[in-house]
Structures are given as structure tokens and as C-alpha cells.
Amino acid sequence: MSYFFLSEPPYLLLLFGILISVACGTAFEKVLKNNVNKWYQTPKSENPDSVQTPSLFLPFIGICLGIFLFLGAGLEVVINAWKISLAIALPLTLITGRLVWSQLGKLLVKLQQGGSQALDLEDLF
């Protein structure tokens, strides 16, 4: 009988994680640019709740999934235990993803309400 074994250091999962993140990041960029162009073409009276759309959230979830795979595989190289490495990678990915998503929402609301002049870099920090 022939058995299939994954390679001990999960270099293939590291590569898949990076590729998934880059592919979803490209889709995220295109959707974000499309949404911003629509906001500039519509009147300012549009509802600011429409900033974070499902079409923007889906590529973001893909980015988070790729980061989770990359972190999990990278930690597995160091720790050499899948359960522990995934237990560390999951909360790191969820917390970071939530923080980035909320910050992105705040920035997009500012951009929609005040245009590009509202994004003063000194106010962000």
C-alpha cells in the first residue's frame, strides 16, 4: 500500500498561504478602488453605512485565511506541533483581522464623508 505523507516542514502550506493572501489582496484592492470611485461619483447624501460591503468583506476573509495558513505553517516549523501552532495562529489572525477591519471602516467613513482631504495622517496616530 502506498501512503501519502505531507512533508514534515509544511513549506507548501507556507507558499499556499502567501499565494491565497496575495490573490485575495488583489481582489480586495480592485473592489476597494471600485467602491471609492462610486462614492466620488455619487452625491454626499449617500448613507455612510454602505462603506463595508459584502463584496469587500469576502476578499478580506480570504486574506485572513491566507494569513492564518501562513502563520500556522510558520509556527509549525518552529514548534513542530500542529495543534499548538494553529491554536496560536487562530487568535492572532482573528484579533488582527478584526482590528484592521474596524480601522478600515473608520477610514472609509472619513473618506466618504469628507473626501481625500479628510484623511489627515496626523489625525490617525
pLDDT over 60 (residue 16)? yes
Helix (H) or strand (E) holding 79: helix 54-79
Domain boundaries, the chain: 11-38+51-117
pLDDT at residue 44, as a whole number? 62
pLDDT band at 22 (very low <50, low <70, confident <90, very high): very high
pLDDT at residue 62, as a whole number? 97
DSSP per-residue string spanning 10-38: -HHHHHHHHHHHHHHHHHHHHHHHHHHHH
pLDDT over 70 (residue 123)? no
d(CA 52, CA 35): 9
Mean pLDDT of 94-114: 87
Chain mean pLDDT for the chain? 84
Helix (H) or strand (E) holding 42: none
Report the range out of 2-16, 18-32, 99-113 with the highest average pLDDT: 18-32
CB 105 within 8 A of CB 50: no
pLDDT in tens, 51-63: 678 889 999 999 9
pLDDT in tens, 62-72: 999 999 999 99
Mean pLDDT of 95-106: 93
